[in-house]
Structure 1
């Protein structure tokens, strides 16, 4: 576990940069993590993906499978990578404040 500081905010993260406590997540933290991942601005499309991921996590305790995320968002996988260059797991799930998804290397 580590503490990272982004623009004056201190966040406890695991060794891969995922929030240790997803309950502290808010939109401000999402913006901070996105900026640290090289995403200058979170668009409507970003927020749609983030909300799908968070809703799935709140209801099922885990991130949605990639296929389900694509179906529900109406985006192709390459479009999700366009929004989150680190990918749906390492990028989108981190910005959404989730713990590291199972199977994420």
Structure 2
């Protein structure tokens, strides 16, 4: 079955331990809806740097990644439907870039 990477952009730092617990519960619930389709839960990532021919941008560039997940899905349409349930998308605090992982 094809695999797809979800590259997360944006997000919001929780303002309290209670809000942090709510955010984690939302992610756990979303991951549970994906069941066996969830191949690699992934993780949030730290600050990034963008490397190009003109140098290194220490601020992560125009749209830095904030985390990733790898899922199994029949096709791009199925994968994008799954991504719509992402807590960052639902809350309006971020977006998910979906791309098929190509076999080499």
> With structure 1 as the length reference, what TM-score do the two structures score?
0.31
1 or 2, which has the higher strand percentage? 2
| Structure number with higher relative contact order (C-alpha < 8 Å, ≥ 6 residues apart) | 2
Query: Which structure's CA Rg is the greater one?
Result: 2
> With structure 2 as the length reference, what TM-score do the two structures score?
0.31
